Chains A and B, each alone.
Chain A
């Protein structure tokens, strides 16, 4: 297994918002190694979610090179990204991580099944996440904290090679957020699964091995004859 799980080099991304070009990532470079946890911090609009979306293949980068698990992912096709998301990259978002029509247990089972883990021990994962006896309940029958723990259980059950967590505790109250974070870090330390965690919470970021700070980049008016081309500004890169 190569030491570096994520290698990002000169990554850039911008959007067109009306008549404005919004540059969110510019010449960003960083690496995440095996067992490493990295916090992703920055003000709103600094590109945290965009970076997680790019690393999970939901949207493409404008420029730069991405290597995942030692292989280039920059020219990965849709099927390749599906394979990566299905078996190696787990994502946990702020909310809406579960299928509302399935019980918590079935959500875990489905995610594991899609990862090719057919004999997953759902009860084991429910116990680890403190959800014992809640496996038969549907997402609307449990609390927000329990839903996020179930989302983590889904991610852990697939035994990923990389965990991408986009503000996983942002929608929870302080105590519950702390509980969820404890579970997340405990498991990360135990399994050594590399993790990129986007957060606004400095306390949460401080628990990670490293912090990647993103700055808010400038907006630029688009000339009438240009549209959709990424900017090449040099400010804001790390």
Chain B
């Protein structure tokens, strides 16, 4: 027998331990590699859309007035390489001509695009475009810059053509969330593998010492143990990768729908290479070796309890502090990791101490024994208990996030999708004549037109929407903040010339209600308009900054990108309305959408977005519960004699079983209880810190106590299963024979 077979003989004696290790590795790898594959595919899909998502810059005036040819000349003379683009909007038939200066386009020689703006339209020389407009049609001049100049004259500044968060960043944030979940699953798996492997190591302590006495050097033993874990990780991980592929395929369609709905990017299948398989396997092997390295490579250190509590507290404080103070998304995830580690560590350090203190105050020796026994169990099962606590907290946080989002988003969707149908007007139609036609149709009970376009502010380009503040379809809106008491008063203020902004703009530019915002819709206005912000409204699911005004403020000659209507139908249904309106506008094939269908689509997209997160967190909880059962079954071999002793001392077996059940349910129930504050904190970080950083908007944080009870019930169920699995072990058996 050589050294390898001598070491592996441990698993011949403990086949369940080997099976447990492999199962944990398989399930964990399947979970995180499945999500990893999806996020890698999504990243590749986003990269292919880079041209559309690439950020571009323009030079704007600090005073928010539109840039002119004079500004272009000034900047060129100062040596700034800027390129002008004149956008001419032809009112009817509606069209767009873009005038460019071929000479200055050399500024963008490293950006292979037809125009720096990436706009669609007919491209002509800037002089020709100016002649075409002839002072009659609305025009807008933009000065593009190839990079973010930091030394512009004080009258100018650089503005991003994407308002604050670009779709690329948004997608990155979305994927970062998935990566964080992958990392969490990997962390929980590492904890579980560490606990099983260390148990095996403890059981092999005598054998290892014997081998050492037989002349095997500690280095050789360590090398064999590391290789053993690496081989186990490779086998379990390899099988896990196959299951991960199955998982990724299962979720692929929903994930594609989510990406398509959120970012307009289709998920395409990535070509599988050897690296696709090898990379996650290597990551797994390295993480697993890291998880046990300290105990394999170094002798077990004598631990100082107070020092451990101090270190765990410091980790927790740094984690919570970083969550509160950091404005970096990546740091927020690091902070979550630190908070989890610190909280979990403190839990398994402080709970046994508390239970021992409780035991000291007991007058009943049986109760005292019970508390102390529980303290020992927590110490011995600290790693799987921490894993269960993390998983339960994650499930609580994910549920709260999804629940909050559903409550808020669906209400918001309902108030936005007032009316029965959405109608997109043809491009050459103006609001007044469109309104007149709609009013004349007997299939229309009420209608509300919405103009959309682009406006320039001192913060750069924003989307602008013009509505009729008196429309009954707008009255159900609720506001995140407003200067007025009631929504009705807010709309009256808008009718009087005040404006509304969306949450994204308010957060990015730190704007609050009562402040003023200056903006300009097209170049036809003599001077930019300055309005008081009467309210801030929620605008979920997209990153753009938006200003909302009364239609009265929209200059008749100003260009708009779209005109749409919310229609409340009188009778006859959508088909009758479509027939009438297409006939009236002599425009077949109009875009008419059933609002209930839009709602269903939006809900489906968001459901798909969260289905993956929900599934992974639930499966992680199952994995942690399963690992705890396995570990407890093994650990109990050393504790069962004390339950047997109670029987030997005359306690009825059913009473001993009851004590065992109390211990196991208290064990897992305590984990459930401690997971509640951790889960609530995670929810807060996700809602109040990560969401605004990642998506530009936040959600009102909601608690779901009923779901807490469900999690608590699940933890207690794990405890009951544990008790039923352990009960056969406490049967009173003869210790010695002969």
Interface residues of A (CB under 8 A from B): 15, 24, 44-50, 53, 56, 58-59, 78-79, 82-87, 91, 93, 96, 99-102, 106-107, 109-111, 113-115, 166
| A85 CA to B645 CA, complexed, in Å | 11
| A114 CA to B647 CA, complexed, in Å | 10
Given A82-B652, A106-B368, 14 further pairs, Cβ under 8 A = A24-B738, A44-B738, A46-B738, A49-B734, A82-B653, A85-B647, A85-B650, A91-B648, A96-B641, A101-B372, A101-B373, A101-B642, A110-B649, A114-B650
| A44 CA to B642 CA, complexed, in Å | 26
Query: Once the chains bind, are A113 and B364 in contact (CB under 8 Å)?
Result: yes
- Is residue B366 within 8 Å, beta carbon to beta carbon, of the partner chain? yes
Query: Which of these, A44, A45, A58, A93, contacts B732 with CB under 8 Å?
Result: A58
Query: Once the chains bind, are B365 and A85 in contact (CB under 8 Å)?
Result: no
Query: Which of these, B645, B650, B652, contacts A87 with CB under 8 Å?
Result: B650
| A83 CA to B368 CA, complexed, in Å | 23
Q: Which residue of A lies closest to B645 (CB)?
A: A99
Specify which chain A residues have a CB less than 8 angstroms from the CB of B658 in the assembled complex. none
Q: What are 30 contact pairs spanning A and B, CB under 8 A?
A: A24-B737, A44-B738, A46-B738, A49-B735, A49-B736, A50-B734, A50-B737, A58-B648, A58-B732, A59-B733, A78-B652, A78-B653, A82-B650, A82-B652, A83-B650, A85-B647, A85-B649, A87-B650, A93-B735, A99-B642, A100-B642, A101-B359, A101-B376, A102-B368, A102-B372, A111-B649, A113-B366, A114-B650, A114-B651, A115-B649
Specify which chain B residues have a CB less than 8 angstroms from the CB of A100 in the assembled complex. 642
The tally of CB-CB contacts under 8 A between chains A and B is 81
Specify which chain A residues have a CB less than 8 angstroms from the CB of B732 in the assembled complex. 58
Select the residue from A53, A79, A87, A166 with max chain B CB neighbours within 10 A.
A53
| A115 CA to B116 CA, complexed, in Å | 92
| A84 CA to B373 CA, complexed, in Å | 26
Query: Once the chains bind, are A114 and B734 in contact (CB under 8 Å)?
Result: no
Query: Once the chains bind, are B650 and A86 in contact (CB under 8 Å)?
Result: yes
Specify which chain A residues have a CB less than 8 angstroms from the CB of B375 in the assembled complex. 101
Query: Once the chains bind, are A99 and B648 in contact (CB under 8 Å)?
Result: no
Specify which chain B residues have a CB less than 8 angstroms from the CB of A102 in the assembled complex. 365, 368-369, 372
Smallest beta-carbon distance B711→chain A, Å: 30
Query: Once the chains bind, are A79 and B652 in contact (CB under 8 Å)?
Result: yes
Query: Once the chains bind, are B647 and A110 in contact (CB under 8 Å)?
Result: no
Specify which chain A residues have a CB less than 8 angstroms from the CB of B642 in the assembled complex. 99-101
Which residues 45-104 of B have a CB within 8 angstroms of A?
A: none
Q: Which residue of B lies closest to A154 (CB)?
A: B649
Q: A79-B652, A82-B647, A85-B649 are in contact. Are A113 and B365 (CB under 8 A)?
A: yes
Query: Once the chains bind, are A114 and B364 in contact (CB under 8 Å)?
Result: no
Specify which chain A residues have a CB less than 8 angstroms from the CB of B737 in the assembled complex. 15, 24, 49-50
Query: Once the chains bind, are B738 and A45 in contact (CB under 8 Å)?
Result: yes
Specify which chain B residues have a CB less than 8 angstroms from the CB of A45 in the assembled complex. 738
Query: Once the chains bind, are B733 and A58 in contact (CB under 8 Å)?
Result: yes
Query: Once the chains bind, are A99 and B652 in contact (CB under 8 Å)?
Result: no
- Is residue B646 within 8 Å, beta carbon to beta carbon, of the partner chain? yes
Q: Which residue of A lies closest to B364 (CB)?
A: A113
Query: Once the chains bind, are A47 and B738 in contact (CB under 8 Å)?
Result: yes
Query: Which of these, B365, B650, B735, contacts A106 with CB under 8 Å?
Result: B365
| A102 CA to B369 CA, complexed, in Å | 6
| A84 CA to B652 CA, complexed, in Å | 11
Specify which chain B residues have a CB less than 8 angstroms from the CB of A24 in the assembled complex. 737-738
Query: Once the chains bind, are A110 and B369 in contact (CB under 8 Å)?
Result: yes
Q: Top 9 nearest A-B pairs by Cβ distance?
A: A86-B650, A101-B372, A110-B365, A45-B738, A106-B365, A109-B365, A85-B650, A49-B736, A53-B734
Smallest beta-carbon distance A157→chain B, Å: 12
Specify which chain B residues have a CB less than 8 angstroms from the CB of A166 in the assembled complex. 736
Q: Which residue of B lies closest to A56 (CB)?
A: B648
Query: Which of these, A15, A48, A53, A86, contacts B651 with CB under 8 Å?
Result: A86
Q: Which residue of A lies closest to B646 (CB)?
A: A114
| A166 CA to B737 CA, complexed, in Å | 11
Smallest beta-carbon distance B587→chain A, Å: 85
| A106 CA to B648 CA, complexed, in Å | 17
Query: Once the chains bind, are B734 and A86 in contact (CB under 8 Å)?
Result: no
Smallest beta-carbon distance B219→chain A, Å: 34
| A85 CA to B650 CA, complexed, in Å | 5
Smallest beta-carbon distance A81→chain B, Å: 9
B695-738 vs A, CB cutoff 8 Å, 1 = contact: the mask equals 00000000000000000000000000000000000001111111
| A100 CA to B737 CA, complexed, in Å | 24
Select the residue from A15, A50, A87, A102 with max chain B CB neighbours within 10 A.
A102
| A230 CA to B365 CA, complexed, in Å | 42
Smallest beta-carbon distance B374→chain A, Å: 10
Smallest beta-carbon distance B172→chain A, Å: 52
Specify which chain B residues have a CB less than 8 angstroms from the CB of A106 in the assembled complex. 365, 368-369
B355-380 vs A, CB cutoff 8 Å, 1 = contact: the mask equals 00001000011101100110110000
Select the residue from B642, B648, B652, B738 with max chain A CB neighbours within 10 A.
B738
Smallest beta-carbon distance B649→chain A, Å: 5
Smallest beta-carbon distance A215→chain B, Å: 12
Query: Once the chains bind, are B738 and A85 in contact (CB under 8 Å)?
Result: no
| A106 CA to B651 CA, complexed, in Å | 16
| A186 CA to B235 CA, complexed, in Å | 65
Select the residue from A48, A84, A100, A110 with max chain B CB neighbours within 10 A.
A110
Q: Which residue of B lies closest to A118 (CB)?
A: B364
Q: Which residue of A lies closest to B373 (CB)?
A: A101
Specify which chain B residues have a CB less than 8 angstroms from the CB of A109 in the assembled complex. 365
Specify which chain B residues have a CB less than 8 angstroms from the CB of A49 in the assembled complex. 734-738
| A110 CA to B734 CA, complexed, in Å | 22
Which residues 653-699 of B have a CB within 8 angstroms of A?
A: 653
Which residues 274-318 of B have a CB within 8 angstroms of A?
A: none
| A84 CA to B737 CA, complexed, in Å | 22
Q: A85-B649, A113-B364 are in contact. Are A99 and B369 (CB under 8 A)?
A: yes
Specify which chain A residues have a CB less than 8 angstroms from the CB of B641 in the assembled complex. 96
| A44 CA to B737 CA, complexed, in Å | 9
Smallest beta-carbon distance A226→chain B, Å: 20
Query: Once the chains bind, are B738 and A48 in contact (CB under 8 Å)?
Result: yes
Q: Which residue of A lies closest to B371 (CB)?
A: A101
Specify which chain B residues have a CB less than 8 angstroms from the CB of A44 in the assembled complex. 738
Specify which chain B residues have a CB less than 8 angstroms from the CB of A59 in the assembled complex. 733-734
| A113 CA to B287 CA, complexed, in Å | 51
| A44 CA to B733 CA, complexed, in Å | 19
Query: Once the chains bind, are B738 and A86 in contact (CB under 8 Å)?
Result: no
Q: Which residue of A lies closest to B736 (CB)?
A: A49
Specify which chain A residues have a CB less than 8 angstroms from the CB of B365 in the assembled complex. 102, 106-107, 109-110, 113
Smallest beta-carbon distance A178→chain B, Å: 24
Q: Which residue of B lies closest to A105 (CB)?
A: B365
| A209 CA to B646 CA, complexed, in Å | 31
| A49 CA to B733 CA, complexed, in Å | 12
| A56 CA to B653 CA, complexed, in Å | 15
Q: Which residue of B lies closest to A89 (CB)?
A: B650
Smallest beta-carbon distance B599→chain A, Å: 60
Specify which chain B residues have a CB less than 8 angstroms from the CB of A85 in the assembled complex. 647-650
Specify which chain B residues have a CB less than 8 angstroms from the CB of A84 in the assembled complex. 650
Smallest beta-carbon distance A164→chain B, Å: 11
Select the residue from A45, A58, A84, A96 with max chain B CB neighbours within 10 A.
A58
| A100 CA to B638 CA, complexed, in Å | 12
Q: Which residue of A lies closest to B370 (CB)?
A: A101
Q: Which residue of B lies closest to A107 (CB)?
A: B365
Specify which chain B residues have a CB less than 8 angstroms from the CB of A47 in the assembled complex. 738
Specify which chain A residues have a CB less than 8 angstroms from the CB of B652 in the assembled complex. 78-79, 82
Smallest beta-carbon distance B358→chain A, Å: 13
| A114 CA to B642 CA, complexed, in Å | 14
Smallest beta-carbon distance A116→chain B, Å: 9
Query: Once the chains bind, are B733 and A114 in contact (CB under 8 Å)?
Result: no
| A113 CA to B370 CA, complexed, in Å | 15
| A79 CA to B647 CA, complexed, in Å | 10
Query: Once the chains bind, are A115 and B650 in contact (CB under 8 Å)?
Result: yes
| A63 CA to B24 CA, complexed, in Å | 48
